[in-house]
Amino acid sequence: MNKKSENISGWQRFMKSMTKANEIGKEEDVMLDHDYDGIRELDNVLPPWWKAGFYITVVIAVFYYIMVLGFSKYNQYDELKDELADAKKEVETYKSEHPELFSVDNITAFTDADNIAKGKALFTSKTCFACHSADLGGGIGPNLTDNHWILGGGIKNIFHTISKGGRPGKGMVAWEASITKIERQQLASYVISMQGTTPAAPKASQGDIIWPEN
Ligand code: HEC
């Protein structure tokens, strides 16, 4: 019986060629002769579709080994290096586009009530008041309301002092590790907003820098 005379559709023929399944009723041809308590075994071939899948995985494995595991530009390590280099470039670009976020050279003082209020709250929560007193009149630390400065007045100097601390051994630590940049900016702005106020018990002026000069 040739295939045409079987009168089956192309799809059925395809399925048949992919499975090579034995036709029901012809099992006797592939029946193995052993018998386990009545259970018998057919010696069917591995279905071609399954074998094709297996061969494809073998080919992919070879391709993967050559292309990905070190013999080409798809090397994972180089790829990682490239990605890191690209990311670094992106960071640089971002930094150059937003210098105000990364450099303190052009830092400015906040003047709006909201940020000043936040600075005031931080002055308490970050324990600044313990050394400078709640009204900034000074104690262990200098008076922050007068125009005499040990380390320099103005937003840049004050921000710098809060970030990096005072002179060694004086007690004013560097706060940049524990207070965020924006919070240090709010603190510095609050200190500036308190310039010229009159504390209850002002500490005598310290520092030779008069700021602003007048
Ligand atoms: C442990 C005590 C202490 C604490 C807490 C402290 N300071 Fe100071 N602060 C000092 C001392 C002491 C100096 C003087 C440093 C020097 O002489 O170099 C100083 C200096 C300063 C100055 C510069 C004053 C000047 O004349 O140049 C500023 C501004 C300042 N502190 C702000 C703050 C802020 C804001 C906080 C809270 C985040 C704070 N300090 C917490 C002790 C303290």
**By percentage, how much of the chain surpasses pLDDT 90?**
63
Q: How far is CA 183 from the centre of its chain?
A: 22
pLDDT tens, residue by residue, 60-95: 999 888 877 666 666 778 889 999 999 999 999 998
Q: How far is the CA of 172 from the centre of ligand 1 (A)?
A: 4
| Residue with more model confidence, 27 or 130 | 130
Is 80 near ligand 1, meaning CB less than 6 Å away?
no
Using a 6 Å cutoff on CB, does residue 149 contact ligand 1?
yes
CB contact set of 152 (below 8 Å; sequence gap of 6+): 158, 160, 161, 209, 211
Q: Tell me, what's the pLDDT at 39? A: 92
- State yes or no: pLDDT of 2 exceeds 70: no
- Residue 51 in contact with ligand 1 by CB distance below 6 A: no
Instruction: Return the pLDDT at 3.
Output: 47
pLDDT at 17 over 80: yes
Contact partners, residue 195, CB within 8 Å, separation at least 6: 145, 147, 153
Q: Which helix (H) or strand (E) holds 90?
A: helix 76-97
Ligand 1 geometric centre to CA of 110 (Å)? 20
pTM, to two decimals = 0.66
**What sign for the dihedral angle of Cα 121, 207, 165, 162?**
positive
Q: Determine the straight-line distance between the first and last CA of the chain, rounded to whole angstroms.
A: 115
Domain 113-210 is in which class?
mainly alpha
Please choose, from the candidates 74, 51, 49, the residue with its C-alpha nearest in 3D space to the C-alpha of residue 63: 74
State how far the alpha carbon of 57 is from the alpha carbons of 19, 48, 65, 76, 197, in Å.
Answer: 19, 14, 12, 21, 79
Q: What are 149's strand-pairing partners?
A: 209
* CA–centroid distance, residue 190 to ligand 1 (Å): 14
**Domains of the chain, residue spans:** 3-68, 113-210
Strands (E), the chain: 31-36, 39-42, 148-149, 209-210
Which residue's structure tokens are 């089956």?
8
Residue 148 Cα: closest atom of ligand 1: 26
Note the pLDDT of residue 27: 79
Rounded to an integer, the average pLDDT of 46-54 is 93
Distance CA 195, CA 16 (A): 93
Ligand 1 atom having least distance to the Cα of 206: 26
Task: Name the residue at shortest CA distance from atom 7 of ligand 1.
Answer: 172
Identify which of 122, 124, 126, 132 to mutate to test ligand 1's pocket (most ligand atoms within 8 A of the CB). Answer: 132
Cα 141 to ligand 1 centre (Å): 5
What's the confidence (pLDDT) of residue 53? 95
Rounded to an integer, the average pLDDT of 111-137 is 96
Q: Does the CB atom of residue 192 touch ligand 1 within 6 A? A: no
Give the pLDDT band (50/70/90) at residue 24. Answer: confident
C-beta of residue 111 within 8 angstroms of C-beta of residue 189 = yes
Nearest residue (CA) to ligand 1, atom 36: 128
Q: Ligand 1 pocket, 164 CB below 6 A?
A: no
Q: What is the pLDDT of residue 70?
A: 64
208-173-169 Cα angle (round to 5): 65
For residues 189 and 113, what is the distance between their CA atoms, to the nearest angstrom? 10
Handedness of CA 127, 128, 134, 138 (dihedral sign): positive
The best mutation among 148, 162, 172, 205 to test binding of ligand 1, ranked by most ligand atoms within 8 Å of the C-beta, falls on 172
